[in-house]
Chain A
Amino acid sequence: MDDLRIPIGAFFAIVGVLLMTVPSARAPLTEVPVNLYAGVSMLIFGGVMLWLARRRS
């Protein structure tokens, strides 16, 4: 439990999923679904962190 990669991985995985729930939100100057892109990237980052932590233990 003291492996820091677990909370970091979990945090970004959850934030990633949260962002993917609002893929159609747009800001004045963005045309692309940035929430979706950022959400997927964060989910992948969180997943890699969790996988690294799991592989060690």
Chain B
Amino acid sequence: MRLEIIDYAILALYFVFVLAIGFVIRRRVQSSEDFLTAGRSVPVWITSLAFLAANLGAQEVVGMCASGAKYGLMTAHFYWLGAVPAMMFIGVFMMPFYYGSRARSVPEYLKLRFDEKTRVLNAASFAVMTVFSSGVSMYALGKLFQLVLNWDFTNSVLLSAAIVLVYTFLGGLTSAIYNEVLQFFLIVLGFAPLSILAVMKAGGWKGLATRLPPVMTHTWSYVGSASENPMGVEAFSLIAGLGFVLSFGYWCTDFLVVQRAMAANSMSAARRTPLMAAFPKMVIPFIVILPGIAAIALSHMSVGYSLPPKDGGLDYDQALTTLMAQFYPSGLLGVGLTALMASFMSGMAGNVTAFNTVFTYDLYQGHIRRDAPDSHYLWVGRAATIGGIALSIAAAYLAQRYNNIMDVLQLVFSFVNAPLFATFLLGMFWKRSTGHGAFTGLLAGTAAAAATHGLTLAEGKGGWIATIHQFPSTMAQNFWIAIFAWSVCFVVTIAVSLTTAPKPESELHGLVYGLTKIPHDPAEPWYRRPGPLALIVGVALTILNIIFW
């Protein structure tokens, strides 16, 4: 792939705008809360697009396109079965507790609702995870640009990290969120033409459906048993594992996304954030998954396109970039690469701004220096921004040098994350659940996840204790790990809670269902109320699932 002056001009223009937004926002940052929580002052259309963009990192875009090529339209389950229902749930049911508690972070909610040890467990694991995942995505970006453009790994990693550093350091969360909105539009407008061009070349949707095996163009038709579909999953583990445990665990408890909604300028706006975000979320599969499906169809067509081979199969990860090379002339190619760069930056800035908040409020203020003036915490927040980015860069090099270590770490992270939603569900909806219950539940859930992985085998993964079961795919294994972790955490939390003393009800106001006034705002027009919005999202979602059944 060769770039012309115009492509570099578009990339440079983007950098100028991103930095300019940082410089303008800097004037707004007076206190640590301005810097770390955006002062709870961001309008809802901005928070909802940032809610999406923070998750729409480069790995997500490249990975979803690769999954589209590998698994077909079933990949859309990550959106239409997973993300969107979870976004409806957090908007309608959970946001009143997050926003109403006045907590500045998700771990801080756990502190208010349960106790200090539960908060530290969550905050510490979250802080480590965000740094590593931003490092891993930085590594992925460096490798990708090395592969397709021959850019030097170190240069592209350091340049992109430096730009993210400047704008997050200057304007904090507000700056990250504002840039995420620009990045969101760039990702959509930069990748949508690729989807349109690739699908048109393959003969439109009809062309895809006739050229490919039917499993590639349906979502639900082939999930009766694991052997019918390339994902190797059956309906129960798909619905319970992906649709419930993993998606609700991510979209409803991960501070990276929840932070965007908590930055909204009112309770009503915070609740509408994930609901408004659900509309574009439903459409994103057409932009990121469809090109991958089209890539396979084009490979069958002898039009001069084929996915590059890898280890006897196909290199699905290259689906997006090889399509861009074939369909984007210089000019649009610059836009596409800038969109890739933007998706990387939005993911990284999301991680960094979540990390610095958790570090400053939950770890530093909670344990190192409790009663300092606010200007001190602003300073710590800025220092944590630099520290977080420096650690991410270190993690990127670690990933480059020792790929296996990163695989193990990501596996451990998935064990820690799997049970989380059980803790939040019980914390928010059962006032009898206790801090001891939550803490032991989380540990037991993580242990159950590790044990499931150690006792089962899928595609050669797992089974490091013994093999008592074989899964048809690692995807099925992951879903079942999540299901077991969630169930164990749920049961253990209840059991331990019943034998330990509950928090007095007077300390639970605003934190638990039944002791919190759920806002109903009948004065608002219907399109600004969470209930009707969620209903529309639900109807649209059902229609999508039926059309592409």
Contacts and interface: CB of A to CB of B under 8 A. Distances in A.
Contacts of A15: 10, 13, 335
Given A1-B24, A11-B17, A12-B189, A29 B327 contact: yes
21 contacts: A4-B178, A7-B21, A8-B181, A12-B185, A14-B13, A15-B10, A15-B13, A18-B6, A18-B10, A19-B331, A22-B329, A22-B331, A25-B330, A30-B328, A34-B197, A34-B328, A34-B329, A38-B189, A38-B332, A39-B331, A41-B189
B454 interface: no
A22 B185 CA distance: 22
Contacts of B203: none
Interface string B316-339: 000000000111111111010000
B41 to A, nearest CB: 11
Interface of A: 1-2, 4, 7-8, 10-12, 14-15, 18-19, 21-22, 25-30, 34-35, 37-39, 41-42, 45
B331 A42 contact: no
Contact of A11 (B182, B331, B333): B182
Contacts of A22: 6, 329-331
A34 to B, nearest CB: 6
B304 interface: yes
Q: How many residues of B sit at the interface, in one of the four size bands?
A: 20 to 34
Interface in B278-322: 303-305
B46 interface: yes
B163 to A, nearest CB: 15
Contact of A7 (B20, B193, B331, B332): B20
Given A11-B14, A34-B193, A34-B197, A29 B303 contact: yes
Given A34-B332, A38-B193, 18 more contacts: A2-B24, A4-B46, A8-B181, A10-B17, A11-B14, A15-B13, A18-B6, A19-B6, A22-B6, A26-B329, A27-B325, A27-B327, A29-B201, A29-B326, A29-B327, A30-B328, A34-B327, A34-B329
